[in-house]
């Protein structure tokens, strides 16, 4: 099965639909999401509590399903970024990117010589344990690692132009909840401050021909954001989809059973 690189996906502006995983680590999760026709997966280390050992195993599950995966690292610390790359992450999502300097710092820890200063370790998880000439392996890793810069602060919006202009930044990602908090309007996604900030990010991505993504809770919102210029549409997450499906079914089952008991 041909390997699909997240970098290739970020180079195009066609629709990519994915799913957030922050709770369930079953070995079958990659195959399940592939069968559901997902194009990519977002693995979250920032809010899930996933360890690097867990993410390493999860990336193997996703690789077995040939499902491109983005890993949101727990911080902007260089060792978190490099370790995520070492265990097999091709796509790195960096939270709270507020400046081009922060993105540059991260790229230094993502890229090998001569593009960065990531510590070299070959024939491990990130290169599928395959041997090969050192310079070819370093160049291949540099070519395929992709940076998703999460814009979720006022400063990030203000500096979105410089962040998107940076060579090596493949996608801007709107962190809608944190952005609304940073704007002083938590959860008010229809507020002019919030919609104006998102419009600015959309314009920047169009200007620099960069991908743009975000998490969406509903199909309708996914359609609306795609029409607005987003091409990475991450539909909901494992926790929320399970809760929604079970809650809806249990409520309906209880209602119908009670109705019959009164007859």
pLDDT digits (tens, 9 = 90+) for 173-232: 999 999 999 999 999 999 999 999 999 999 999 999 999 999 999 999 999 999 999 999
Residue 254 lies in a domain: no
pLDDT digits (tens, 9 = 90+) for 81-125: 999 999 999 999 999 999 999 999 999 999 999 999 999 999 999
Kindly indicate the confidence band of residue 9, based on its pLDDT and cuts at 50, 70 and 90. very high
Kindly indicate the confidence band of residue 234, based on its pLDDT and cuts at 50, 70 and 90. very high
Task: Dig out the tokens for 35 from the structure.
Answer: 């069968």
Compute the Cα dihedral for 126, 127, 129, 132 and give only its sign.
negative
Residue 88 lies in a domain: yes
**Predicted local distance difference test score (pLDDT) of residue 76:** 95
Phi and psi of 77, rounded to 5°? -65, 135
Query: Into how many domains does the chain fold?
Result: 1
Can you give the residue range of the structural domain that contains 214? 6-236
Residue 35 lies in a domain: yes
Residue 261 lies in a domain: no
Instruction: Return the axis-axis angle of helices 100-110 and 78-86, rounded to nearest 10°.
Output: 40
Residue 32 lies in a domain: yes
Residue 194 lies in a domain: yes
**Predicted local distance difference test score (pLDDT) of residue 173:** 98
**Predicted local distance difference test score (pLDDT) of residue 1:** 63
CATH number where 188 lies = 3.20.20.60
Residue 249 lies in a domain: no
Residue 262 lies in a domain: no
Neighbours of 195 (CB within 10 A): 12
pLDDT digits (tens, 9 = 90+) for 24-44: 999 999 999 999 999 999 999
CA distance 172 to 159: 12
**Predicted local distance difference test score (pLDDT) of residue 41:** 98
Residue located via tokens 């401050």 = 193
pLDDT digits (tens, 9 = 90+) for 131-167: 999 999 999 999 999 999 999 999 999 999 999 999 9
Asked whether the predicted pLDDT for residue 52 surpasses 90, the reply is yes
The mean pLDDT value for 170-174 works out to: 98
Asked whether the predicted pLDDT for residue 4 surpasses 90, the reply is no
């Amino acid at each position: 099965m041909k390997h699909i690189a997240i970098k290739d996906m970020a180079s195009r502006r066609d629709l990519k639909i994915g799913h957030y995983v922050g709770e369930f680590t079953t070995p079958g999760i990659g195959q399940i999401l592939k069968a559901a026709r997902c194009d990519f997966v977002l693995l979250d280390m920032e809010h899930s509590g996933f360890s690097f050992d867990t993410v390493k195993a999860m990336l193997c599950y996703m690789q077995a399903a040939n499902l491109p995966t983005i890993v949101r690292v727990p911080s902007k610390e260089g060792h978190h970024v490099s370790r995520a790359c070492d265990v097999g992450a091709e796509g790195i999502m960096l939270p709270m990117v507020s400046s081009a300097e922060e993105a540059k710092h991260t790229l230094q820890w993502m890229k090998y010589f001569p593009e960065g200063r990531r510590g070299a370790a070959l024939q491990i998880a990130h290169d599928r344990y395959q041997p090969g000439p050192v310079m070819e392996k370093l160049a291949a890793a540099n070519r395929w690692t992709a940076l998703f810069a999460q814009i979720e602060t006022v400063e990030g919006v203000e500096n979105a132009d410089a962040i998107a202009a940076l060579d090596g930044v493949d996608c801007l990602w709107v962190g809608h909840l944190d952005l609304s908090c940073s704007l002083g309007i938590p959860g008010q996604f229809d507020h002019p401050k919030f919609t104006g900030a998102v419009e600015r990010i959309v314009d920047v991505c169009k200007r620099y021909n960069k991908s743009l993504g975000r998490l969406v809770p509903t199909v309708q919102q996914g359609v609306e954001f795609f029409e607005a210029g987003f091409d990475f549409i991450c539909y909901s997450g494992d926790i929320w989809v399970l809760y929604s499906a079970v809650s809806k079914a249990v409520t309906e089952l209880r209602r119908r059973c009670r109705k019959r008991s009164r007859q």
